[in-house]
Amino acid sequence: MFLEEHGLIVMLVVKEAVMDWFKTTHKTVLSGIVIFLGLALLPAAYADAGSSPIGAKIKWHLQGNSGLWVYSSTLKSFYKDRDYRPIWLDGNGLNRKGETLLENLRTASLDGLVPDDYHYSEIIELLKQNETPYPEIDLVLSSAFIDYGSDLYLGRLDPTRVDKGWHIAKPKPNMPVILETALRQSDLNAALRSLSPPTPEYRKLREVMVRLQAIAENGGWPGVAYPIQLKPGWRNEQVPQIRQTLKIMGDLDSKWEPDDPEEYDDDLKEAVVHFQKRHGLRADGIIGTKTIAALNIPVVDRIRQVQVNMERWRWMPRDMEDRYVLINIPEFKLRLFDHGEVAAKHSVIVGKAYKESPVLKSAIKHLVLNPYWNVPTNIAREELLMDIQKNPSFLTSNNIEIIGAKGKIVNPGSVNWNSYSSSNFPFRLRQRPGAKNALGKIKFIFPNKYDVYLHDTPSRYLFDYDTRTFSHGCIRAENPELLASELLQDNSGGAKIRDMINQGETRTVPLPEPVPIYVTYFSAWAEDDGTPYFYSDIYDRDRNLARYYPDFLYRDGTDTVAANIQD
């Protein structure tokens, strides 16, 4: 940005890297300013805003006379429908709507957005430099409103461009109509809030963001200076630091002071256990390597984590069904929602880092009891073939059938296994129902192109682990009989399903109506009481998404729009 003696020109220098970033957003669709923002002096006939209606000057710009602007049809229609009257200005400067919009832009970081994406700094400079409202200021504010409103509604980034692993489609909205409706509301602040995701989960994450930014503005938390291991009853000089960190984070009462500051007492243990639960750690009260690592994550990193997860909520459909299943991969949890309430919660196992469970939306249509497992081709060729070659009885001991080219069962003794490799293996493998079946006793079918489903497992001991990335992409439920009962709404607590399973037959059980299922990736979550939970970025998706955000995370919350203008 620079000033000239004969007028004010605000330029956004667009470098190649910035252009790449613009390609990841929705802004090219609606933004009033696509490549650069230019504010130039009008000809002499328009130079005095007091002697010439601002509306005439706005119309002059929108007709392309300045030669410096690239306008969208949305911006033009905003003004044409208002006979080119200013939207955000009156004779004294910003009107009430203008002040409301500017305040929302200032605090955009509370929604995980970036104020200067919406020309916030440029607008402040313009308002400082000019007592007379320029028509260009109104145009810039309108452009900011379009981009800000669109980002609240759709997301700052386009998931199809920045996250190839996101496969939850969102209906295409008519954004010009949505924004026009918001602009016509008498309470613009409420209208802007209504553009953000309506889910309680998003609103609670926003509250977490408010708290984290306040903590950051006060210097963050101290963390732990060097690696230690602490158990309850031990003493250590770093205990005061740990206690202070947990107070700032909200795990320990900020007013509580111990008799012995360096003793790891019972009250501190309770706070540590609470902290461990919130971070997906083993809640044993022992302060070890993983707990210390979590204590030492800076507040700015937690802000970034919340930021990218708020963005994911903007990618989700706005109108969630009355009843649906939501699986959160980093949390290893499944929730059954019923009219906005969590009706049930179950632990799950998800895909390994190199066999990720996909993010998707589908619908559970039926269950299969005592299922066969049709071994995926890649698993048969790359894993089981080697097991068979090492141990000829592997197939028999694991109750696995060999299916030939014409669908007939092949005698395993008739096959020269050493003549095959992963590149020429011609058979299909199928595991019969039974105690060793990899799918357990139930599988939940939801159509998807990734051939993944939700199912039981014979390896129940794996649920004892805190990090449960053990599958090839499918999702395993800890208590599938109870989950099946909840989906069927049979009020039996799983007893009816167990009775059917015990009959030993492979059986398909349709649900009364399909239940939508969302497999999602939220590494930051807030429970009903507002308590924040943070989980490991097991697939590095947070890290990849964070690349599209600038290094600065938030604007100092202690300032105000008025103070900025008066500086």
The reported pLDDT for the residue numbered 70 is 56
Output the furthest CA–CA distance in the chain (Å, rounded): 99
Tell whether the model's pLDDT for residue 50 goes beyond 70. no
359 in Cβ contact with 165 (< 8 Å): yes
pLDDT of residue 504: 94
Rg over alpha carbons for the chain, rounded to the nearest Å, is: 29
Alpha carbon distance 454, 321 (integer Å)? 20
Q: Which pLDDT band, with edges at 50, 70 and 90, does 537 fall under? A: very high
> Looking at residue 26, what is its pLDDT?
58
Beta strands in 21-171 (DSSP E): 89-90, 93-94, 166-167
Q: Is residue 476 very low, low, confident or very high in pLDDT (cuts 50, 70, 90)? A: very high
> Is there a contact between 276 and 80 (Cβ–Cβ < 8 Å)?
no
pLDDT category at 403 given cuts 50, 70, 90 is very high
Chain centre to alpha carbon of residue 40: 40
The separation between CA 234 and the C-alpha centre of its own chain, rounded to angstroms, equals 40
Q: Which of 211-215, 412-416, 418-422 has the highest mean pLDDT?
A: 211-215
**pLDDT at position 52 over 80:** no
Q: What percent of the chain has pLDDT over 70?
A: 86
The pLDDT value given to residue 552: 54
Q: Quick one: pLDDT at residue 60?
A: 84
Q: CA 32, 35, 41 angle in degrees (round to 5)?
A: 70
Spatial CB neighbours of 86, under 8 Å, sequence gap ≥ 6: 54, 55, 58, 133, 135, 138
Compute the distance between CA of residue 46 and CA of residue 65 in angstroms, rounded to an integer.
Answer: 12
Residue-level pLDDT at 131: 61
- Do 102 and 128 form a contact (C-beta atoms < 8 A)? no
CA distance 193 to 516: 27
**DSSP characters for 143-203?**
HHHHHHHHHHHH-SS-HHHH-TTEE-------HHHHHHHHHTSS-HHHHHHHHS--SHHHH
pLDDT at 41 over 90: no
**pLDDT score, position 27:** 56
Average pLDDT over residues 552-561: 44
Mean pLDDT, to the nearest integer, of 268-297? Answer: 97
154 against 13, higher pLDDT: 154
Q: What angle do CA 347, 168, 444 make, to 5 degrees?
A: 45
Q: What's CA 555's distance to the chain center, in Å?
A: 22
Residue 240 pLDDT > 80: yes
Q: What is the pTM of this model?
A: 0.88
Is there a contact between 105 and 123 (Cβ–Cβ < 8 Å)? yes
pLDDT at 564 exceeding the cut of 60: no
* Dist. CA 519–CA 356, nearest whole Å: 12
Q: Is the pLDDT of residue 40 over 60?
A: no
Q: Which residue matches tokens 């926003």?
A: 206
Q: What is the pLDDT of residues 1-24, one digit of tens each?
A: 222 322 333 333 333 344 444 446
pLDDT on residue 133 = 63
Mean pLDDT of 129-138: 75
Mean pLDDT over residues 90-119, rounded? 94
Mean pLDDT of 185-207: 97
pLDDT value of residue 11? 36
- pLDDT tens profile 62-93: 887 555 455 678 888 889 888 889 999 887 88
Question: What are the beta bridge partners of residue 2?
Answer: 9
| pLDDT per position as a tens digit, 420-451 | 999 999 999 999 999 999 999 999 999 999 99
Q: What pLDDT is stored for residue 397 in this prediction?
A: 94
End-to-end CA distance of the chain: 18
**Lowest mean pLDDT: which of 118-127, 509-518, 558-567?**
558-567
| Residue 204 clears pLDDT 90, i.e. is over it | yes
Q: Give the span between the Cα atoms of 345 and 332, in whole angstroms.
A: 11
Over residues 342-383, the pLDDT tens digits come to 999 999 999 999 999 999 999 999 999 999 999 999 999 999
> What pLDDT is attached to residue 459?
96
Residue located via tokens 């802000």: 303
Residue 399 class from Cβ within 10 Å (0-12 exposed, 13-18 middle, 19+ buried)? middle
Q: Which two tokens stand for residue 147?
A: 């981009």
Angle, to 10 degrees, between the axis of helix 120-129 and the axis of helix 96-106? 130
Helices (H) and strands (E) counted in the chain, each on its own, are 22, 20
Confidence at residue 520, expressed as pLDDT on a 0 to 100 scale: 99
Q: Is residue 496 pLDDT above 80, yes or no?
A: yes
> What are the tens digits of pLDDT across the range 157-187?
999 999 989 999 988 899 999 999 999 999 9
330/328 Cα distance (integer angstroms): 6
What pLDDT does 277 receive? Answer: 98
- 306-320, 499-513, 524-538, 550-564: least confidently modelled range: 550-564
Mean pLDDT of the chain: 87
Question: What is the per-residue pLDDT for 359?
Answer: 98
pLDDT, average across residues 325-343: 97
Q: Give me the pLDDT at residue 8, please.
A: 33
Q: What angle do CA 336, 338, 339 make, to 5 degrees?
A: 145
- Using a pLDDT cut of 90, give the percent of the chain over it: 75
Report the pLDDT averaged over residues 535-551.
93
Tell me the C-alpha to C-alpha distance, in Å, between residue 298 and each of 233, 543, 553: 28, 15, 13
Which of these, 528, 547, 527, lies nearest to 537 by C-alpha position? Answer: 547
